[in-house]
Amino acid sequence: MDDIDSAIIRHLQRDARLTNRELARLVGVAPSTCLERVRSLRARGVITGYHAAVDPRALGRPLQALIFARLRPLSREVITGFQHYLSQQPEVLSVLVVSGDEDFVIQVAVPTIERLHAFLMDQVSARREVVNFRSSVIYQQTVTQVLAPVDEGRRGDA
Protein backbone atom coordinates (compact mmCIF):
# COMPACT_ATOMS: atom_id res chain seq x y z
CA MET A 1 0.00 0.00 0.00
CA ASP A 2 2.08 2.87 -1.24
CA ASP A 3 1.01 6.17 -2.75
CA ILE A 4 0.25 4.59 -6.11
CA ASP A 5 -2.06 1.99 -4.57
CA SER A 6 -3.76 4.73 -2.60
CA ALA A 7 -4.28 6.78 -5.73
CA ILE A 8 -5.68 3.79 -7.60
CA ILE A 9 -8.14 3.08 -4.81
CA ARG A 10 -9.14 6.70 -4.63
CA HIS A 11 -9.92 6.91 -8.34
CA LEU A 12 -11.73 3.58 -8.55
CA GLN A 13 -13.96 4.48 -5.64
CA ARG A 14 -15.10 7.52 -7.56
CA ASP A 15 -15.42 5.79 -10.93
CA ALA A 16 -15.21 2.03 -11.14
CA ARG A 17 -15.55 2.08 -14.91
CA LEU A 18 -12.27 3.83 -15.54
CA THR A 19 -10.33 1.89 -18.11
CA ASN A 20 -6.93 0.62 -17.18
CA ARG A 21 -5.39 3.08 -19.58
CA GLU A 22 -7.16 6.07 -18.12
CA LEU A 23 -6.44 4.96 -14.57
CA ALA A 24 -2.76 4.51 -15.40
CA ARG A 25 -2.64 7.99 -16.78
CA LEU A 26 -4.33 9.42 -13.67
CA VAL A 27 -1.95 7.78 -11.23
CA GLY A 28 1.12 8.35 -13.38
CA VAL A 29 2.29 4.84 -14.19
CA ALA A 30 2.35 2.65 -17.27
CA PRO A 31 -0.82 0.70 -18.12
CA SER A 32 0.94 -2.59 -17.53
CA THR A 33 2.03 -1.50 -14.09
CA CYS A 34 -1.43 -0.24 -13.31
CA LEU A 35 -3.04 -3.50 -14.39
CA GLU A 36 -0.72 -5.43 -12.10
CA ARG A 37 -1.49 -3.09 -9.20
CA VAL A 38 -5.25 -3.36 -9.61
CA ARG A 39 -5.01 -7.13 -9.85
CA SER A 40 -2.99 -7.26 -6.69
CA LEU A 41 -5.45 -5.01 -4.86
CA ARG A 42 -8.28 -7.32 -5.86
CA ALA A 43 -6.32 -10.43 -4.92
CA ARG A 44 -5.39 -9.00 -1.53
CA GLY A 45 -9.01 -8.15 -0.85
CA VAL A 46 -8.46 -4.40 -0.66
CA ILE A 47 -10.91 -3.92 -3.50
CA THR A 48 -13.88 -6.17 -2.82
CA GLY A 49 -16.01 -5.41 -5.84
CA TYR A 50 -17.42 -2.89 -8.29
CA HIS A 51 -20.99 -1.75 -7.84
CA ALA A 52 -23.43 0.56 -9.58
CA ALA A 53 -25.03 3.02 -7.18
CA VAL A 54 -28.74 3.57 -7.65
CA ASP A 55 -30.97 6.34 -6.36
CA PRO A 56 -33.59 4.90 -3.98
CA ARG A 57 -35.97 7.69 -4.98
CA ALA A 58 -35.82 6.62 -8.61
CA LEU A 59 -36.77 3.14 -7.46
CA GLY A 60 -39.85 4.35 -5.65
CA ARG A 61 -38.30 4.50 -2.19
CA PRO A 62 -38.02 8.18 -1.32
CA LEU A 63 -38.29 7.72 2.44
CA GLN A 64 -35.50 6.31 4.60
CA ALA A 65 -35.40 5.56 8.28
CA LEU A 66 -33.33 3.97 11.00
CA ILE A 67 -34.82 1.34 13.24
CA PHE A 68 -33.22 0.63 16.59
CA ALA A 69 -34.15 -2.71 18.08
CA ARG A 70 -33.40 -4.60 21.28
CA LEU A 71 -33.47 -8.39 21.15
CA ARG A 72 -33.76 -11.06 23.81
CA PRO A 73 -32.29 -13.50 24.40
CA LEU A 74 -29.19 -11.99 22.84
CA SER A 75 -27.68 -15.26 21.72
CA ARG A 76 -25.70 -15.95 18.59
CA GLU A 77 -28.62 -17.93 17.20
CA VAL A 78 -31.10 -15.11 17.72
CA ILE A 79 -28.75 -12.54 16.22
CA THR A 80 -27.98 -14.65 13.17
CA GLY A 81 -31.61 -15.53 12.67
CA PHE A 82 -32.78 -11.93 12.85
CA GLN A 83 -30.01 -10.78 10.51
CA HIS A 84 -30.94 -13.39 7.99
CA TYR A 85 -34.61 -12.52 8.27
CA LEU A 86 -33.94 -8.83 7.75
CA SER A 87 -31.66 -9.39 4.78
CA GLN A 88 -34.62 -10.96 3.00
CA GLN A 89 -36.83 -7.91 3.41
CA PRO A 90 -36.74 -5.65 0.36
CA GLU A 91 -37.06 -2.53 2.51
CA VAL A 92 -33.76 -3.17 4.28
CA LEU A 93 -30.61 -1.39 3.13
CA SER A 94 -28.23 -2.35 5.91
CA VAL A 95 -28.17 -4.12 9.22
CA LEU A 96 -25.75 -3.29 12.02
CA VAL A 97 -25.20 -5.32 15.14
CA VAL A 98 -23.98 -2.92 17.77
CA SER A 99 -23.05 -2.47 21.39
CA GLY A 100 -24.88 -0.09 23.68
CA ASP A 101 -28.50 0.71 24.32
CA GLU A 102 -29.65 -1.10 21.20
CA ASP A 103 -28.60 -4.36 19.63
CA PHE A 104 -29.61 -3.75 16.02
CA VAL A 105 -29.59 -0.65 13.86
CA ILE A 106 -31.47 -1.19 10.63
CA GLN A 107 -31.59 1.23 7.73
CA VAL A 108 -34.64 0.96 5.48
CA ALA A 109 -35.91 2.66 2.34
CA VAL A 110 -39.66 2.75 1.72
CA PRO A 111 -42.16 4.42 -0.59
CA THR A 112 -44.28 6.11 2.04
CA ILE A 113 -44.64 6.73 5.74
CA GLU A 114 -47.51 4.25 5.70
CA ARG A 115 -45.20 1.58 4.37
CA LEU A 116 -42.67 2.41 7.07
CA HIS A 117 -45.31 1.97 9.72
CA ALA A 118 -46.47 -1.26 8.14
CA PHE A 119 -42.90 -2.55 8.13
CA LEU A 120 -42.44 -1.68 11.79
CA MET A 121 -45.69 -3.35 12.80
CA ASP A 122 -45.69 -6.37 10.53
CA GLN A 123 -42.01 -7.13 10.03
CA VAL A 124 -40.32 -5.89 13.21
CA SER A 125 -42.78 -5.74 16.06
CA ALA A 126 -44.24 -9.08 15.05
CA ARG A 127 -40.95 -10.86 15.78
CA ARG A 128 -40.87 -12.51 19.17
CA GLU A 129 -37.16 -11.82 19.75
CA VAL A 130 -37.69 -8.05 19.42
CA VAL A 131 -38.40 -6.84 22.95
CA ASN A 132 -38.60 -3.20 21.92
CA PHE A 133 -37.67 -0.80 19.16
CA ARG A 134 -37.82 2.78 18.02
CA SER A 135 -37.39 4.48 14.69
CA SER A 136 -35.98 7.70 13.29
CA VAL A 137 -36.73 9.27 9.96
CA ILE A 138 -33.64 10.19 7.96
CA TYR A 139 -33.82 13.80 6.84
CA GLN A 140 -30.45 13.98 5.14
CA GLN A 141 -27.66 11.58 4.35
CA THR A 142 -24.13 12.19 3.18
CA VAL A 143 -21.91 9.21 2.44
CA THR A 144 -18.17 9.49 2.09
CA GLN A 145 -17.43 8.34 -1.42
CA VAL A 146 -13.74 7.79 -0.97
CA LEU A 147 -12.25 5.93 1.95
CA ALA A 148 -8.54 6.59 2.36
CA PRO A 149 -5.95 4.46 4.12
CA VAL A 150 -5.23 5.66 7.65
CA ASP A 151 -2.92 8.60 7.59
CA GLU A 152 -0.22 7.82 10.10
CA GLY A 153 -0.17 11.45 11.11
CA ARG A 154 -2.92 11.12 13.68
CA ARG A 155 -1.48 8.59 16.08
CA GLY A 156 -3.82 6.43 18.06
CA ASP A 157 -1.67 3.39 18.60
CA ALA A 158 0.13 4.61 21.66
Partner DNA sequence: ATTGAAATAACTCTCAC
Partner DNA sequence: GTGAGAGTTATTTCAAT
The burial class, CB within 10 Å (0-12 / 13-18 / 19+), for 34 is buried
**Which of 53, 73, 126, 128 forms a contact with a copy of itself (CB under 8 A)?**
53
Q: How far is the CB of 145 from DNA (least distance, A)?
A: 21
Closer Cβ to DNA, 37 or 61, answer by number: 37
Instruction: Compose the 124-143 pattern: x for residues touching a copy of itself by CB under 8 A, - for all others.
Output: ----------xxxxxxxxxx
Q: Which residues bind DNA (CB under 7 A)?
A: 4, 19-22, 29-33, 35-37
**Which of 32, 33, 40, 96 forms a contact with a copy of itself (CB under 8 A)?**
96
**Would the CA dihedral through 85, 88, 89, 93 be positive or negative?**
positive
Residue 104 CB: number of other CB atoms within 10 A? 21
Closer Cβ to a copy of itself, 30 or 98, answer by number: 98
Q: How far is the CB of 27 from DNA (least distance, A)?
A: 9
Is 7 a residue that touches a copy of itself (CB under 8 A)?
A: no
How many angstroms separate the CA atoms of 49 and 11, rounded? 14
Is 33 a residue that touches a copy of itself (CB under 8 A)?
A: no
Report the partner that residue 37 touches, choosing among a copy of itself, DNA, none (CB closer than 5 to 8 A by kind). DNA
CB 59 within 8 A of CB 110: no
Q: Residue 41 in 3-state DSSP?
A: helix
Phi-psi region of 3 (alpha: psi -120 to 50; beta: other; left: phi over 0): alpha
**Which of 2, 43, 50, 128 forms a contact with a copy of itself (CB under 8 A)?**
50
